[in-house]
Structure 1
Amino acid sequence: MKHITFYLDFVSPYAWLAFEKLPQVLEGLSYSVEYRPVLLGALLQTQGNPGPAGIPAKRDWTYRHVTWVGQRLGIPLQMPAYHPFQPLPLLRLALAYSMDGSINRFTAGAFLRHVWQGGHDALDPTRLETLCALLTEQQQGSSGLDAKDLLWANTEAAADRGVFGVPAFEVDGKIFWGLESLPMLRGYLEGDAWFDSYWQQVAQVPSGLPPANTGKP
């Protein structure tokens, strides 16, 4: 059985789509999944990437694309009242009862639906109280570690593993990024010979661009 680490931030609409699609894409395979909340903004900052929300035209395109993809896949997705928003309260709440920095599928789904269904304010205090009550009924205990520390440790570990965005899936040290990577992930789990021949080879193609920050045109 293969073990998959699913890195996610609830602010990402693609994380919601991938969460819903994953069981269908991997149907019939033997695997386990652990869900690791990370702070997408910190990962993007590490890479010097402003993200879709930092580029107005890309932001518009992303919102159009995810809502279109959602309806094509039959996955309910409505943009929240405000986006982007600061996801820290949600991430820390999700990790408040975590034993090791991971959360179960029920918890991940509860937070993703909270954000991506209904078009509501993801940080509305009344809605957060309702979400917290739901989680309290499901949780079995905590490690006693601070949720802030767990989130930071998850994010740092993800960056060290080569994660640069979400959703991302790690298996056997290989990182698969984005909703579109799910068929590729299935191929790996099925033993596709491509991975033996090309996974490392294609990543070693030399760059034809000049070194960055030379100050020369």
Structure 2
Amino acid sequence: MKHITFYLDFVSPYAWLAFERMPQVLEGLSYSASYQPVLLGALLQQQGNPGPAGIPPKRDWTYRHVSWLGHALGTGLQMPARHPFKPLPLLRQALACSEDGQINRFVAGAVLRHVWLGGHDALDPARLAALAQLLEPQVRPGDDSGERAKALLRANTEQAAAAGVFGVPAYAVDGRVFWGLDGLPMLRAYLEGDAWFDGPEWSAVCQVPSGLGG
């Protein structure tokens, strides 16, 4: 059985869509999955990538696109009242439910639904309190200060970057990283044993020279 590490940040609408779609796309396959919260902003900064929100026309298109995808895929998606927002409170709340940096599907789904269903403010204090109450049975003891959750988030993000993760959602299996909602069919093909992955193409693309040099 293959194990998939699903990297996510709750600020990403595509993470929500992929979270909902992955069980459907991979239906019938034998696999296990764990969910690893990371700080998307730090990953983007490492790559010098402003993200879609940093380019106004791309921001508008991204929000339009994900809203349509939520409708077309049947998952639902309503843009939160403010976006982007600083996801640290949500990431740390999720990781308060972990001792090793991984969270279960219930925790991941609860936080993602908090952000992406209903069109509310993801950081509204009353809503954060309600989310904390929902997750309370999942919280691991011994981290009243929140320092463990903070350390786990740093370690998760550093580990993701070292693994070649540059954005979310991303899925790592057997040392290979698949990225994006539209990477799910490729992930399925790999898990099914598609012979393409035994050929040279996966690694050969890294050797293609850039034509933008001086």
Is the TM-score greater than 0.5? yes
Q: 2:100 aligns to what?
A: 100
1:77 corresponds to which letter in structure 2? L
Unaligned residue ranges in structure 1 (runs of 5+)? 212-217
| C-alpha distance in structure 1 between counterparts of 2:142 and 2:161, whole Å | 23
Q: Percent identical across equivalent pairs?
A: 74
Deviations 1:28-71 (Å, cap 9, x if unpaired)?
A: 10100010000000000000000000000110010000011111
Q: CA deviation at 1:202?
A: 2.4
Q: Give the whole-Å Cα distance in 2 for the aligned partners of 1:48 and 1:143.
A: 37
Structure 1 residue 153 displacement after superposition: 0.4
Say yes or no: does 1:27 pair with 2:27.
yes
Cα separation, partners in 2 of 1:140 and 1:89, compared to 1, 3 Å = closer
Letter in 1 for 2:15: A
Which residue number in structure 2 is paired with residue 190 of structure 1? 192
**Cα distance in 1 for residues equivalent to 2:58 and 2:35:** 28
Report runs of 4+ in structure 1 exceeding 3 Å deviation.
142-145
Query: Hey, what does 2:8 align to over in structure 1?
Result: 8
1:115-126 → structure 2 map (5 Å cutoff): 115-126=115-126
Q: Output the CA distance in 2 between the equivalents of 1:74 and 1:120.
A: 19
1:149 matched residue in structure 2: 151
What is the Cα deviation at residue 142 of structure 1?
4.5
| Residue among 187, 199, 204 paired with 2:202 | 199
Q: Is residue 158 of structure 1 aligned with residue 157 of structure 2?
A: no
The alpha carbon displacement at 1:141 in A equals 2.6
The 8 Å contact of residues 17 and 70 in structure 1, kept in 2 or not, is answered as yes
Three-state SS of the structure 2 residue aligned to 1:6 is strand
Q: Following TM superposition, by how much is the alpha carbon of 1:140 offset from its aligned partner in structure 2, in angstroms?
A: 6.1
The answer as to whether partners of 2:10 and 2:87 remain within 8 angstroms in 1 is yes
What TM-score comes out, normalization by structure 1 length?
A: 0.94
Measured in 2, the distance between the counterparts of 1:23 and 1:95 equals 23
Q: Quote the offset at 1:99 in angstroms.
A: 1.1
Aligned with 1:176: secondary structure? strand
Residues 98 and 143 in structure 1, CA contact (< 8 A), matched pair in contact too: no
Residue deviations 1:110-146 (CA, integer Å, cap 9, x gap): 0000000000000011111111111112x16347461
> 1:96-117: CA deviations, max 9, x gaps?
1211001000000000000000
Matching residue of 1:54: 54
Partners of 1:7 and 1:169 within 8 A in 2:
yes
Counterparts in 2 of 1:200 and 1:143: CA distance versus 1, 3 Å: farther
CA-based RMSD of the aligned residues comes to: 1.2
* Residues 136-195 of structure 1 deviation map (CA, whole Å, 9 limit, x = unaligned): 12x163474611110000001000100000000000000000000000000000000111
In the other structure, the counterpart of 1:80 is 80
Q: Which residue of 1 aligns with 2:69?
A: 69
